[in-house]
Chain A
Amino acid sequence: MTVATIPAPAFAIERFKLANGLRVVLAPDPGAPVVGVAVVYDVGMRSEPEGRTGFAHLFEHMMFQGSHNVGKAEHMRHVQSAGGTFNGSTHIDYTDYFNLLPSNGLELALFLEADRMRGPAITEENLANQVSVVKEEIRVNVLNRPYGGFPWIKLPPVMFDTFANSHDGYGSFVDLDAATVDDAKSFFNAYYPASNAVLSVAGDFDLAQARELVERHFGSVEARPAPVHPSFNEPDLSAERRVSYTDERATLPAVAVAWRVPDPVTELDDFLPYVVLGELLTDGDASRLVERLIHTDQTATAVAAHTTFMAEPFASRGPTVMLIQAFLPPGNAVDTVLGTVQEELARIAEGVDEAELDRVKARVAAQLLRGDDSVMGRSRRFATAEIFHGDASMSARFPALLGEVTAEAVAQAAAALTPNRRAVLEVIPGGAQ
């Protein structure tokens, strides 16, 4: 089967912009009686100020603490009272807020998102409360478990030099404790204007009615200029960088290796072969590194390759990376694994079999389609496609674009991943063995 034969679902998409600059994506589909409402702001961890690591994420928490017409915790209460669920998530290049509700809750969700787009109600008290909650989140996900922050927090400072690209986006406790209500106001003023956001609605709704509701609730949100997005670019590595650290709770050696890749937005055509390469390397037992490292050499016990630190190739800007991480059986050497990875990359650089490439593309397409079956997933992906690629309908075209990646392009991508351009992070197990 070739990717060209895979039928893509035809989601109708309407896009328009309000006078205040808010970009709107409406994608009606009556498949299930639910509606997804997502708002994506074009600001992520890279934009937080020095001395305020973790602030983009902390601010995301503050967006749930109430707004003009909504009290503390009432956003959640209203959405849940409509039978819906909600969440927010902070990424390297964006922050999203999303709601999934039975379709009769559409207007409520639009009202709630519009209300906080006018500004959250931040007080000393609820800020202190959420600083405490975020610290517990970091303790659960980073400090109190093996391999916490590996590699997404630990690798960027090896790879990058600038504050924007290298700092810990979860934040230090010192910086979190230093956050003030004024910081939050400044951050909102700078990065949360309607003109820096995309509203995306997917699922079971009437297009004309939704359009009217969007105008009614978001039309009067103040018009403010969007921030200028600075380039975060910095030079590629010219010599290998390597850092190791001991994780007291880790039991297995682990390694992450990363190389800079073309910009996922401005150099999309050159970036896509790396997305395919990641799947070719580690998706399933037939993939190159799983077969070689795990089953043949038995020098790794788990291995995964992907582009961008959070594995979201279509929702990232540059500079970013192709990343391979492996966990090793006790006593195995990281250098052996790195040597084998380079060997396998060199083999791919010599040429890739078309049949193998077609299989990989079929699996990639199926995984993207599976994400699109969820109304919530769909609304979020339409929004990030609009933010990063200037067109929500690009979201439906990614499988086809990946399908057009040639064997030659994948080989060239592999050839570019040379040892002198790599950043390596090694975890030395200190845990009970």
Chain B
Amino acid sequence: MSNVIPGLAPEVPLSLPVPVERTLPNGLRVLLTRRPGVPLAEVRLSIPAAHADLAAADLLSAALFSGTETASMTEIAQRLQGVGGALGAGADPDRIAVSGNSLATGLPELLEVLGDLLKAAEYPEGPLAVERSRIIDGLSVAEQQPDFQVNRVLDARLWDGHPYGHQQPTAAEVAAVERDAVLALHASRVHPAGARLIIVGDIDTDAAFAAVEKALGDWNGAGEPRHMEPLPELVAGPLVLVDRPGSVQSAIRVAYPAVERTHPDNAAQHLANLVFGGYFSSRLVMNLRETKGYGYSPRSRVDHSPAGSIQLAAVDVATEVTGPALAEVRAELRGMAERPPAADELDLARRYALGSVKLATATQAGVANYISVLAASGLPLAWLAEHSERIREVTPADVQRVAAERLDPDRAVTVVLGDGAEVREPLAAFGEIEAA
């Protein structure tokens, strides 16, 4: 037995597939990627929907599959199921997205169904009412979930006045959406111009494109392109306390500024986030979980959205350690500039970042998701290779500089959801408190 921890074999270079890109005459951008493996195909369709009414967009997404002029909801579902397929849809402030998968041999049929829905969804009154009620029922449950509750307050605090400030409609807003509003939204927004279709799987790209042309070539109509304003600057302020009586944990959320993917500081920001709280070996996890035992899943992440970027640290902790846990989060955040990572700490994060790209692009669904996420920011999949090269060049001084510029708890937005009667006093030690 050897007790010397083995090193790594020579690094296998990152190898990314190159999507074939075509554009239909109606404006639909199509990105096709052959990735053999299992005999399946992954499909992602993104339709721009800036400034669409969010409640209407949610209802449209839920009822998109409820029937067309020629097919009932059940017939649509049977056609998909017959090719091992499924489709789902969702909406956010930027877009309406339809995604799904099927056996690769069933891709033409899945695209035909998708085409029928995009061109002729009827949103019949009965099924629409069912979906409206289901969204409202689902919201009533979500509104009891700490994460949902705290995110709603955080979004409003960060982006009040911008569409990102209100990302989850209320039950009353959903209840007020009539069929006419859904039909009008479909008529004005569900169009190929500006939309993007991504297909990844065990496919022949020429044959798959021919199937797209056949199914979606006559999808048409004029859209009303609307621009999404960039996110406003983050404005720090008093700690926001969301009272959740009886809560046995406090959900601590600290948001601070970030630069977008194309900014020169992005690679250093990526590594700074990892070192701070972006992976298990980070300072936040080692301190709050492995040393103090305050929380199961302390974490931080960088969110890149089409309108802008933000960083967010999050941890759910037992009510009685709310104050100490927030103090540690703030100390670790400040510590990134005061105690910048040495070369070995940075190299650990660097190697993790480089490997993560390989892991995340190792499945058909992973490739499809990455193409989709990057395309939303106007970037190609190959950007990952360029980013990896920039990751290799980041120095401790770079990390210290971006940390000093942005990882400052006094310039962050802090929201805590918890049992107000228990946590208000310990939180008062951090300064003024504002009730949500």
Contact = CB atoms under 8 A, between A and B. Distances in A.
A241 interface: no
Interface string A277-316: 0000001111100010011001001100000000000000
A301 B145 contact: no
A102 B146 contact: no
A13 to B, nearest CB: 16
A131 B318 CA distance: 13
B10 A104 contact: yes
Contacts of B47: none
Contact of A370 (B101, B246, B318, B359): B101
Contact of A359 (B82, B247, B351): B82
Interface in B130-156: 130, 133-134, 137-138, 140-141, 143-146
B281 A366 contact: no
B363 interface: yes
B279 A363 contact: no
B355 to A, nearest CB: 1
A144 B417 CA distance: 12
Interface residues of B, number: 81
B284 interface: no
Given A285-B77, A366-B102, A104 B37 contact: no
Nearest to B289: A133
A236 B101 CA distance: 39
Contacts of B352: 80-81, 83
Dominant SS at the B interface?
mixed
A85 B359 contact: yes
A93 to B, nearest CB: 24
B248 interface: yes
Contact of B3 (A31, A68, A106): A68
Given A6-B39, A366-B102, A1 B355 contact: no
A130 interface: yes
Contact of B141 (A77, A132, A140, A252): A252
Nearest to A65: B290
A363 B81 contact: yes
Given A7-B39, A129-B290, A144-B316, A1 B82 contact: yes
Given A84-B359, A136-B294, A286 B78 contact: yes
A400 interface: no
Range, interface on chain A: 35 or more
B291 interface: yes
Contact of B76 (A76, A129, A285, A375): A285
Contacts of A128: 293
A131 to B, nearest CB: 8
A216 interface: yes
B9 A104 contact: yes
A110 to B, nearest CB: 8
A133 B293 contact: yes
A220 interface: yes
A267 B427 CA distance: 58
Interface string B44-79: 000000000000000000000100000001101110
Interface in A330-381: 330, 358-360, 362-363, 365-367, 369-370, 372-375
Nearest to B352: A80
Nearest to B291: A129
Nearest to A8: B39
A100 interface: yes
A33 B15 CA distance: 8
Given A78-B5, A82-B8, A136-B294, A363 B359 contact: no
B137 A327 contact: yes
Contacts of B280: 73, 76, 80, 86
Interface stretch (B83-91, B160-168, B230-238, B402-410): B83-91
Interface string B357-375: 0110111110000000000
A12 to B, nearest CB: 15
Interface string A212-247: 000011001000000000000000000000000000
Contacts of B141: 146-147, 250-252, 327
B359 A295 contact: no
B311 to A, nearest CB: 20
Nearest to A221: B1
B106 interface: yes
Given A73-B281, A375-B362, A6 B84 contact: yes
A200 B261 CA distance: 38
A398 to B, nearest CB: 14
Interface string A184-221: 00000000000000000000100000000000110010
Contacts of B365: 370, 373
B259 interface: no
A82, A130, A216, A298: which has the most chain B beta carbons within 10 Å?
A82
A31 B134 CA distance: 41
A251 B143 CA distance: 9
Given A80-B279, A369-B40, A294 B134 contact: yes
B11 interface: yes
Contact of A373 (B80, B295, B364): B364
A362 B83 contact: yes
B291 A139 contact: no
A365 B134 CA distance: 29
Interface in A90-125: 100-108, 111-112
Contact of A248 (B246, B297, B355): B246
A372 B83 CA distance: 18
B61 to A, nearest CB: 14
A249 interface: yes
A369 B138 contact: no
Contact of B359 (A100, A251, A291, A369): A100
B124 to A, nearest CB: 11
Contacts of A248: 246
Contacts of B11: 102, 104
Given A82-B355, A140-B297, A284-B81, A329 B40 contact: no
A136 B38 contact: no
A363 B86 contact: yes
24 contacts: A1-B103, A1-B106, A73-B280, A77-B348, A78-B5, A80-B348, A81-B281, A82-B351, A85-B356, A102-B11, A111-B5, A132-B293, A133-B296, A144-B247, A217-B1, A220-B1, A252-B141, A283-B81, A285-B65, A301-B133, A301-B134, A358-B82, A365-B103, A375-B362
What are the nearest 7 A-B pairs in CB distance?
Answer: A83-B355, A132-B293, A366-B84, A286-B77, A285-B77, A32-B362, A104-B9
Interface of A: 1, 5-7, 9, 31-34, 68-70, 72-73, 76-78, 80-86, 100-108, 111-112, 128-137, 139-140, 143-147, 204, 216-217, 220, 248-252, 283-287, 291, 294-295, 298, 301-302, 327, 329-330, 358-360, 362-363, 365-367, 369-370, 372-375, 431-433
